[in-house]
Amino acid sequence: MIWSFIKVAFFFILIAGAAVLAGYFADTGGGIRLAIAQREFSLGPVQSVVALILAVLALWLLLKILSFALAIVRFINGDETAISRYFDRNRERKGYQALTDGMMALASGDGKTALGHATRAERLLRKPELTNLVSAQAAEAAGDSRKATEIYKRLVADDRTRFVGIRGLLKQKLAEGDRETALKLAERAFLMQPSNQDVQDVLFDLQASSGDWAGARKVLGAKTKHGHLPRDVHRRRDAILALQEARAVFDSDLPVEAREAAILANKQSPDLIPAAVLAAHGYKANGKEKYAVRVLKKAWEVQPHPDLAAAFAALEPDETRVQRLKRFEQLFTANPAHEETQLLKAELNVAAEDFPAARRAMSDLAEKHPTTRALTIMAAIERGEGADDAVVRGWLTRALSASRGPQWVCDKCQTVNAVWSPVCEKCGGFDTLSWREPPASAAVPSATDLLPLIVQPAARPSVEEPMEDAPEATEDEPADADPHAVYDAEFFDDTTVRKRAL
């Protein structure tokens, strides 16, 4: 750096001196007179300046010759690298300049120019650990993926650049859509540098999308260990992964391990609804219904959800409708002001044929937040109380065009997912689904949205259309005796539901 500054300063001094000398000669009209071997030479002002510049150049050339002569003398004296060092310095300077130009061209997006400079730098420097990476990136920018792959493979062959080469090949495979090979490369890169955040993120996404929950939990632990993930976020995501492990075990018909994994997931994140449901099933299978009730109540306090109500109902499948209504008071008191509590209470009262209580439970919810579910419950209440068909059809008409209420919506791409999963079915985002109402929905209601209309517990007979003989439900009759009871109803397609309702 200092030597470069000295050379630049000397150049400016030389130019300034020549300019001053030329101005002096122009003002005085004089020149330079030289006497060499009894001969005199007179130079005018311009000739004097040119002669001075030529003298400086001759001096520079003389120094170069002396330097080369000195290298030859050293070579003769036994220094076999003296001459090669003399030429290597010049080649190295040009090589680094080419490398710099290539990096500048790469930063500006000119891939072809960058590739040309990188190739020249590689030829001059002969240091592949410096030039290969720039060459690979320049080849990618120029659209030559074959050459980029070839260079990345050369990087992998060198211990000093192996990680960089694997990471480059990983990005190429991701761009090509070869996720299977990319997963293997990401695992290899993670073993080499487990603290690299970019590798952690890529490997975690690939493992989550491929269902390798155990491997994803290891990567999640590494992210927290190296400070790349807050502990509260780690706790929730680890609970999600443990939940998925439990589901996989259930699919493998190993209920003991599944119960343990599900309960662990619920303890790590009690507000995770699928974990609470699976933990409740695990406790019930182990004969610990009290623990199952405790898990569901705790989750209901945080976020009431229909899946929690369904799991709570499954704890006592043989109870009567009235008994079920009384038992559900445990959930009602856990979060009484929530909309889901009002809807659930109204549905259970409709199933128990207590329509005034169902109307009181609904309050003004159908007008304040008219969702498909709320409006169909009101239609069921009107039908149970013997209202005209026109009134029932009015509620149903509104229900068909109303909002479907809360659903599993991806916070990243705003896609509505039919069921909860750790990964969004559209964008692949991990832990991005939340139970909320989407901004707008014009979808036709499904059978579960119109479920209260299927119940039809007290449709009063008319003179024109006598009611078919059917045994009346009593308090001692189990809830499962009615095929249309709430949370035990069979699923129909939308057309069948509308025909039955209308």
What local confidence, expressed as pLDDT, does residue 84 receive? 59
pLDDT at 494 over 70: no
Residue 211: phi and psi, rounded to 5, are: 85, 15
Q: Compute the distance between CA of residue 160 and CA of residue 91 in angstroms, rounded to an integer.
A: 24
What local confidence, expressed as pLDDT, does residue 167 receive? 92
Let me know whether 369 and 449 are in one domain: yes
What local confidence, expressed as pLDDT, does residue 305 receive? 92
Let me know whether 419 and 361 are in one domain: no
Which pLDDT band holds residue 200 (cuts at 50, 70, 90)? very high
Q: State the CB neighbour count (10 A cutoff) for residue 400.
A: 15
Let me know whether 98 and 145 are in one domain: yes
Q: Compute the distance between CA of residue 403 and CA of residue 445 in angstroms, rounded to an integer.
A: 9
pLDDT at 499 over 50: no
Let me know whether 124 and 207 are in one domain: no
Q: Compute the distance between CA of residue 240 and CA of residue 262 in angstroms, rounded to an integer.
A: 10
Let me know whether 379 and 419 are in one domain: no
- Residue 173 pairs with which residues in a beta bridge? none
Is 206:179 a contact under the CB 8 Å cutoff?
Answer: yes
Residue with tokens 């075990």, as numbered in its chain: 249
Regarding pTM above 0.85, the answer is no
In a domain, 246, yes or no: no
What local confidence, expressed as pLDDT, does residue 447 receive? 43
187's enclosing H/E stretch is helix 179-192
Let me know whether 391 and 482 are in one domain: yes
Let me know whether 128 and 141 are in one domain: yes
Q: Compute the distance between CA of residue 114 and CA of residue 135 in angstroms, rounded to an integer.
A: 8
In a domain, 370, yes or no: yes
410's enclosing H/E stretch is strand 407-410
Let me know whether 366 and 455 are in one domain: yes
Which pLDDT band holds residue 476 (cuts at 50, 70, 90)? very low
Residue with tokens 């002569």, as numbered in its chain: 69
Instruction: Show the domain range for 203.
Output: 161-229
Residue with tokens 């993120």, as numbered in its chain: 201
Q: What is the DSSP letter of 74?
A: H
Let me know whether 445 and 378 are in one domain: yes
**What sign for the dihedral angle of Cα 306, 310, 311, 315?**
positive
Residue 458 burial class via C-beta count within 10 angstroms: exposed 0-12, middle 13-18, buried 19 and up: middle
Q: State how many domains the chain has.
A: 4
* pLDDT tens digits, 36-58: 666 666 666 666 667 667 777 88
* pLDDT tens digits, 415-448: 898 888 888 888 888 888 889 988 764 344 444 4
